[in-house]
Amino acid sequence: MAIWRSLDPGWGVAVVRVVMGLILLTAGWGKITAGFATVAANFAKMGMPVPGVTGPFIALLELVGGALLLVGLGGRWLGLLFALEFVVATFVVKLPSAGWAGARLDVMLLAGGVLLFLAGSGRVSIDEVWLEPRPA
């Protein structure tokens, strides 16, 4: 049997989770520091419904959710929320306006969100300790 078959896929999930957390945390921080009014105005330009609510919601989701992903807390639920966010970002905003070149990161974050929803937070996570303890 090849050694790669014995590797725990939870480590790969953890890498995706941490990188997504860093990307989303910094994106959320950028939105928060720009101010909710600016975020809402940008969401309005993109044609998002109720931009005064959706803009700040996404900013806070990315900031707080990104931090939670870093420690691996609520990975499945956050994966679902981020998958939904990036379905909209990809297919409603980026692909129509910027094409594939502008949507690549959003597609990757969409895939990462689906992975986390289906697989959980992976190794070295609070979820692993609380929800999915491994036998000793």
Question: Maximum CA pair distance of the chain?
Answer: 57
37-56 pLDDT per residue, tens: 999 999 999 999 999 999 99
122-131 pLDDT per residue, tens: 999 999 988 7
For the cut 80, the answer to whether the pLDDT of residue 82 exceeds it is: yes
What is the CA 86 to chain-centroid distance, rounded? Answer: 8
For the cut 90, the answer to whether the pLDDT of residue 4 exceeds it is: no
Sorted by where each begins, the domain ranges of the chain are 9-127
Cα separation values, 105 from 23, 73, 86, 95, 99, Å: 10, 23, 10, 11, 12
